[in-house]
Amino acid sequence: MYAIIKTGGKQYRVEEGVNLTVDKLPEAEVGKEVVLDEVLMFADGGKATVGKPTVSGASVTAKVLSQKRAPKVIVFKRKQKKGVKKMIGHRQYVTELAITKISV
């Protein structure tokens, strides 16, 4: 059984017992349960249900493992023959979730 959910403008394929890293969920506290109710598709065995745009009554429950920052992404810009160099680093805030239950 798996589901496709939408959070933070991105789509994720989730199953029970899987850990998932998503963009920061500001309302989530470490150790608490979070309900993700924007389920785009739900599949159980060979039977799949596709929402228009979401599956009504479906939700995914997850436990918040941590609120942290992702590894640094380095952006390096250079102009040829001009001696212009620019280096910028960026770390995104993320939430790590453990999927506990998929319900329809």
The whole-model pTM stands at 0.81
Number of domain units in the chain:
1
Distance CA 62, CA 27 (A): 13
CA distances from 56 to 17, 34, 38, 53, 91 (A): 23, 18, 9, 9, 35
For residue 29, what pLDDT band results from cuts at 50, 70 and 90? Answer: very high
Does the residue 48 lie in any domain?
A: yes
Tell me if 63 is assigned to some domain: yes
> Can you tell me the mean pLDDT for 35-50?
90
Query: What is the predicted pLDDT for the residue at 104?
Result: 84
| Dihedral class, residue 45 (left if φ above 0, else alpha if ψ from -120 to 50, else beta) | left
Domain that holds residue 13: 2-67+96-103
Give the per-residue pLDDT at 4: 95
Q: What's the pLDDT at 45? A: 84
DSSP secondary structure letter of residue 51: -
Task: Classify residue 39: in a domain, yes or no.
Answer: yes
Q: Would you say residue 76 has pLDDT above 90?
A: yes
Query: Is residue 91 a part of any domain in this protein?
Result: no
Cis peptide before 53 (omega within 30 of 0): yes
Q: Is residue 88 part of a domain?
A: no
What's the confidence (pLDDT) of residue 51? 87
